[in-house]
Amino acid sequence: DIQMTQSPSSLSASLGERVSLTCRASQDIGSSLNWLQQEPDGTIKRLIYATSSLDSGVPKRFSGSRSGSDYSLTISSLESEDFVDYYCLQYASSPTFGAGTKLELK
């Protein structure tokens, strides 16, 4: 199975700060990566699909990119509602998730 190593596991940041989360794939997954956001009540929302495509209705402060086997989610200027959990998901083969990043308000 393809392993997705997500970092950091937690991140403390301030309002307005720019942050990046990363997932490293253990094998080639091409562009087959999504970023998901999970609220404290369990609600899950897809933010980014196919590495860098923004889902409709998702604020433009979210963006996705790739450098080799490293995939990144960047939030350009943190807002209060962004302090939740984030997961990457590869679907190139049997789908696997990263372990998640908990974004906390400093």
Partner 1 sequence: QVQLKESGPGLVAPSQSLSITCTVSGFSLTGYGVNWVRQPPGKGLEWLGMIWGDGSTDYNSALKSRLSISKDNSKSQVFLKMNSLQTDDTARYYCATAYYKNWGQGTLVTVSA
Q: How far is the CB of 94 from partner 1 (least distance, A)?
A: 7
Taking the complex as a whole, the smallest distance from the CB of residue 68 to partner 1 amounts, in Å, to: 23
Nearer to partner 1, 8 or 15 (CB): 8
Question: Is the distance from CB of 85 to CB of 38 less than 8 angstroms?
Answer: yes
User: From the list 95, 104, 105, 106, which residue makes contact with partner 1 (rule: CB under 8 A)?
Assistant: 95
Maximum pairwise Cα distance, the chain: 37
How many angstroms separate the CA atoms of 33 and 67, rounded? 13
Q: How far is the CB of 50 from partner 1 (least distance, A)?
A: 9
What is the CA angle 42-43-45, rounded to 5?
A: 135
Alpha-helix runs per DSSP H in the chain: none
Stretch touching partner 1 by CB under 8 A, among 16-24, 57-65, 75-83, 85-93 = 85-93
Residue 96 CA, chain-centre distance (Å), reads 13
The least CB distance from residue 32 to partner 1, in Å, is 10
Residue whose token pair is 């609600």: 43
Q: Applying CB under 8 A, which residues contact partner 1?
A: 1, 34, 36, 42-46, 49, 55, 87, 89, 91, 94-100
